[in-house]
Structure 1
Amino acid sequence: MQTIYIDFTDIGDYEDFYAQLKEKLPLPEYFGENLDALADVITGELQMPLHLEFVNMSIDQLEIFEDLLTTLEDVEDEMEEFSFTYYLEQYEDEEDETEEEE
């Protein structure tokens, strides 16, 4: 299974997301940068099996990209050979910070 990592550290909006996606996936020239086009290209154009993994997402990005996550969940439900996951940025626990200050 091919795994594609999308790092959200430098992604602020959909334009940034699609720019990184185009670097990582062989999207067709006619690809329209919208969620319907993304679902269509995943279900009909890309080589399967495929796993997309979003890393370093912030809480704010969860809200900004809520429709994207929903679209990919729908595609995942529709296709056996496609999956995706997302991970939030890692922060130190407050407990760890307290120990360091002592």
Structure 2
Amino acid sequence: MTKKIILDGSQMTDREKLHAYLKTELDLPDYYGNNLDALKDCLTMDFSCKVIEVWYPEMIEEQLGRYGNSLLRVLKDSADENQYLEVVIKKARE
């Protein structure tokens, strides 16, 4: 069964909140390092049947700056590497 996760960019106001949300919603392990390298490791290794839908990606970039851009790139790259992961980036008007 595929689990769909919504990553609402309007709610991602800082790195700590972002990683706490991802850890909970993606059911990441306790040893998750709360950084983008750890996120990519988790998303590309032994991670299956997930769809991550990103709402308001422009707000992630606005609120988190370069870190937000890097997050979106990590999500896309992870989906390219893991056939069981799908990342859908929603534009503001979709």
Band the TM-score falls in, shorter-chain normalisation: 0.7 to 0.9
5+ unaligned residues in a row in structure 2: which ranges? Answer: none
Counterpart position of 1:54: 54
Q: Cα RMSD (Å) of the superposition?
A: 1.8
Residue by residue over 1:57-95, the C-alpha shift from the partner in whole angstroms, topping out at 9 and shown as x without a partner, is 4x35235210011111111111111111222445xxxxx
Counterpart position of 1:30: 31
TM-score by length of 2: 0.78
In 2, Cα distance between equivalents of 1:22 and 1:77: 21
Which SS does the other structure have where 1:5 is aligned? strand
TM-score by length of 1: 0.73
Instruction: Note the C-alpha offset of 1:16.
Output: 1.4
Larger radius of gyration: 1
Could you list the structure 1 runs, at least 4 aligned residues long, displaced by more than 3 angstroms after superposition.
none
Aligned residues: 88
In 2, Cα distance between equivalents of 1:53 and 1:60: 14
